[in-house]
Amino acid sequence: MRIRAGFTLGYECAQPTPMLLMLDVHPSRQRDLVTEQVLRFDRDVQARSYTDGFGNRCTRILAPPGTVHVSTRFEIRDSGAPDTVNWNAIQHEVQDLPDDVLVYLLGSRYCDTDRLASFAWSQFGHTAPGWGRVQAICDYVHNHIAFNYQNADSTRSAHGGWTDRTGVCRDFAHLAVTLCRCMNVPARYCTGYLGDIGVPPSASPMDFSAWFEAYLGGRWYTFDARHNFPRIGRILMATGRDATDVALSTNFGQALLKHFEVETWEVADAM
C-alpha cells in the first residue's frame, strides 16, 4: 500500500532564532519513500542536516524574524501489515543486553523511574517476563489514562500522567516507557505519523502520534498504550529516551507555533 503524508508548520519569531527541527522520515524508512521527502521553507532559510546520537535525521536552521512556514509532502510505501505481535519474545537479563540498549533502562526528563519503581514492581512483579509483561503494562496504561486533547501539558512527566490520569498520546507513551524501564525492559519513545488507516476515521484534527518500542528477543517491537491494538501504516520519524529527544522543534529563543497542519492517508496504487 501507499501512504501520502506531510505537514505545514508556521513559527513566529521576534528576532533571528536558532531552531533544531526533527521533521524528516526516520532513516530506517527512507528506502520506502516513493517520492522525495524534502523540508521546504517559505522564507530564505539556511538549513543544515545531521544525524543525532539516536540515529535520527535532524535539521538546524536560523529562523528569521516574523513568520516562517516549513512543510513537506511525500508518498511512502508500506507493507499494510499491522504491528508485529510476538508472544514468544523473551525479556533479556540486564547483563545480557547490548551496550547501546542500556540507556533505555535509565530515567530521563519525562520518564521519572525513581518515582514509579515501587509501584511498578508491586503492580507487575507477578507477571512473567517477556511480551506478556509489556502487554500487561500497556493494558494498565490504556485503562488508567483518559485521552483528552484539552488536557495536554508539555511539562507533564510519566509520574504526572499517572497521578493526573489524563493526557494525550505522549502521556500514554511516557508512562508505559517508564513502567517498562522500572521492570528492566528497555523501552524507547517514538514519534511519527499514524493516520486513520484500517480504523474508523476520527473527527479530531490530524496530528503526529507517539508510541514506544520495547527491546525483547534481540530486537525492538512496537507497542502503543493509547490505542492498545496493532495498527497499520505507522511512519516513524524519530526515537529517543523521551519527548525531549524527538521534539518536532527545539527553539533557542522565543518561537510561537502559529500554524499546525498534518495529513496522512492511504492512496490507491497506480495501475
Is pLDDT of 171 > 80?
yes
The residue-averaged pLDDT of 146-164 equals 95
pTM: 0.96
> Which letter does DSSP use for residue 93 in this model?
P
Residue with cell 523473551: 90
> What number does CATH give the domain 2-79+248-267?
2.60.40.2250
The residue-averaged pLDDT of 214-237 equals 98
φ/ψ (deg, to 5) at 21 = -110, 135
pLDDT-derived band at 202 (thresholds 50, 70, 90) equals confident
Among 243, 94, 245, which Cα is nearest to 183's? Answer: 94
The residue-averaged pLDDT of 208-222 equals 98
Predicted local confidence at residue 270, as pLDDT: 59
> Which letter does DSSP use for residue 270 in this model?
P
- Helix, coil or strand: residue 74: strand
User: What is the per-residue pLDDT across 92-110, written as a single tens digit (0 to 9) for each?
Assistant: 999 999 999 999 999 999 9
The residue-averaged pLDDT of 10-29 equals 97
End-to-end CA distance of the chain: 12
pLDDT-derived band at 259 (thresholds 50, 70, 90) equals very high
pLDDT more than 90, % of the chain: 95
Predicted local confidence at residue 201, as pLDDT: 86
φ/ψ (deg, to 5) at 124 = -120, 0
The residue-averaged pLDDT of 106-129 equals 98
Is pLDDT of 271 > 60?
no
Domain boundaries, the chain: 2-79+248-267, 94-240
Predicted local confidence at residue 205, as pLDDT: 82
> What number does CATH give the domain 94-240?
3.10.620.30
The residue-averaged pLDDT of 186-200 equals 96
Is pLDDT of 146 > 90?
yes
- Tell me if 5 sits within 8 A of 263, measured CB to CB: yes
> What is the overall mean pLDDT for the chain?
96
pLDDT more than 70, % of the chain: 99
Predicted local confidence at residue 109, as pLDDT: 97
